[in-house]
Amino acid sequence: MAFFRHKSYINVRMLLRVIGWLLMIEALFMLVPCVTGLIYGENSVMQFLVCMGITAGCGMAMVSLKPKSREMGKREAILLTGLTWVILSMFGMLPFLICGTHLSVTDAFFETMSGFTTTGASVLNSLEGVPHSILLWRCVVQWVGGLGIILFTLAVVPMLNYQGGMQLFNAEVTGITHDKLRPRVSYTAQGLWFVYICLTTLLIILLSFSEMSLFDAICYGLSTMSTGGFSNSDMSLTELDNLYIKIILLIFMFLGGVNFALIYKAARGDVKSAMRNDVLKWYLAIIGICYALLCLNLWKRGMIDSLDDWTIDPLFQAVSILSSTGLTEPDFADWGPEAVVVLIIMMVMGACAGSTSGGAKIDRFIILFKFLKNEFFKMMHPSAVTTVCINGKGTPNPIVMKTLAFLFLYVIVIMTGGTIIVLTGMPLKDSFFICLSAISNTGLGTDITGVEGNYALVPDLAKWVLSFVMLTGRLELYTILLIFTTSFWKK
């Protein structure tokens, strides 16, 4: 009711117009799996064309709206971001409904939202017999959602630079603060997407030199660079137990967890920015610590039989979970409870802000730890003036407070979501684990869902809850939860 009472100051027509542009872009992306179905001679080609027609038609209808004003403020930007991810998931699920996967509306929406948020949790019981076009669509959805739907639009529709572009940028891009790489937001978006496309292309080329087919190389390239983790077969990495493939995937999962602004600056010759970056140093240190703990656990359990067992395998697992890609070693289920504890810590932390990874982000934990260190120091020296420093610069107190509130809210969402899922009949441990997995956009499961994270047995209500939690985690809590507060709707 609040929306309708105050709709006079919400630029509804402009919101719908921008969403229309996004739907038309989504329809263009559907061409990729459509052509793939044509190449493989699949019956899904006509069905994809129908999906494209519905999506593009609705998009054109929205674009035809003529708003009185083209301006968008912070309120419109936040509302637009939340609506965009939901509406594009609603249209993105159409291929899952009519292209041979026989999914219900609940399962189709869950699969699509899992893809867009790069969570990688799947409800498909088996990938055997699933059309190539659908397998590729899952990966395309992940790839688009990896760097951000809104960010892609800012890159290809420069007019938004003048119509709330910075607000849109801040509402979607992960991180504590957002620095523009270029004077205009659209140029920044183009720069980040250029890096993303180049890395994805390079990954696909490198994977194509392995025993993978070109189709698999494309799918794993899109899925890995977005740190999403959707696989092409039921066997996942068991089928691809190849040292070359693992090393290539490991490198690009790591890069997917690095702030893309740093990669952009390094590509332009500013390597010193990366070398001096505190968050990147912490990222490397945490990977090293988690790798050592996993190695120690494997040695303790007597599971080290070859060189790979204490070199590439635990390192691969550490990078995969910390970057929220979610690809797991074939025998990870046998690594024991100690490994699960390390896994949970990595899921909560995530990688760097400004990357495609999920989790609360290392940046926030740096602020938390330094803030706690200062508080302990001030207990002994009450008159001391302290500040939280990152990269040699002091962090303003409002940002510190916002970070602490974010981490507290993160726990509240997990506890609330997990409790609701328990009430749907799921076991206690499974409920809270999959809720953590959803908010961190990792996609791993436990007993019922399994390590690979098949969510087919999860009740429908729990799937809707998890879909909401996945979206909340991907847009870093505030963008979604703020819409449900009365202050958002007040003038």
Q: What is the pLDDT of residues 432-481, one digit of tens each?
A: 999 999 999 998 877 666 665 578 889 999 999 999 999 999 988 888 89
- Whole-angstrom CA distances from 436 to 117, 345, 370, 411, 428 are 14, 10, 25, 9, 13
Q: What is the pLDDT of residue 253?
A: 94
pLDDT in tens, 86-135: 999 999 999 999 887 788 999 999 999 999 999 988 898 878 888 899 99
Model pLDDT, residue 192: 84
Count how many Cα atoms sit within 13 Å of the Cα of residue 68 in the half-sphere of its side chain.
Answer: 5
Query: For position 159, what pLDDT does the model report?
Result: 54
pLDDT tens for 197-248 read 999 999 999 999 988 889 999 999 999 999 988 888 766 666 666 889 989 9
Identity of the amino acid at 259: N
> Per-residue pLDDT for 182 more than 80?
no
The confidence score (pLDDT) of residue 6 equals 44
Q: How confident is the model at residue 3, as a pLDDT? A: 43
Q: What is the mean pLDDT of residues 360-372?
A: 92
Instruction: Give 254-313 pLDDT, tens digit per residue.
Output: 999 998 888 888 888 888 888 888 899 999 999 999 999 999 988 888 877 777 778 888
pLDDT computed for residue 284 by the predictor? 95
Q: What are phi and psi of 314, to 5 degrees?
A: -65, -30
